[in-house]
Amino acid sequence: MSLYDTKDQVVLVDSADTDLGTMEKMEAHQKGLMHRAVSILIFNTKGEWLLHQRAQEKYHAGGLWTNACCTHPYLGESYESAAERRMMEEMGMKIDRERLVHLFDFTYKVELDNGLTEHEYDRVFAYLTDAEPMPNAEEVMAWKHLRHEALVAEITSQPERYTPWFRIIFEKTLPHLDKVRASSSEKH
């Protein structure tokens, strides 16, 4: 089976990221089964976060703000390759997987707005670029750069405007912001 034969599949895993097989994406979300995911945080050289607002038509969390990009790796696809692929598909941005900074992995389970459950083993990467996105309108309805302080204020005052996974990622990223800054000075 090739990578492209599995694009509507997710890779089921346990809490140690052990591959347990694949399942059709919607079925996995209906059953709330843990599967692999990738989240990419994009920062510019001013230290601003790149956020996007999910297209209203997305199968869940439509219209909510979130990190630059998320995806499910295909069977046999590395986390880094999935990040590189999806940044182009979703945000129209070419990234160099060698410059991805792995921040952390975590698991979470949240019930979504339409009877689906997101239960993911999520690998979170940061990436520094001043490139502007050219998003796919089927995926993204708006985007913006936001200073850290402004993002803290927005998430605190209006958490319902953000995806549940991004609110978790945001909190977990705070102790890693120095790692992001250090990697940007090493690579530029």
Active site residues per annotation: 70, 120
User: How many CB atoms within 10 Å of residue 26?
Assistant: 13
Count the neighbouring beta carbons within 10 Å of the beta carbon of residue 46. Answer: 8
Query: What does the radius of gyration of the chain's CA atoms come to, in whole angstroms?
Result: 16
Yes or no: say if 29 and 117 are a contact pair by the CB < 8 Å rule. Answer: yes
**Amino acid in position 138:** E
Q: Report the candidate in 54, 173, 162 with the shortest Cα–Cα distance to residue 123.
A: 173
Q: Which two tokens stand for residue 141?
A: 């309805």
Tokens representing 170? 């945001």
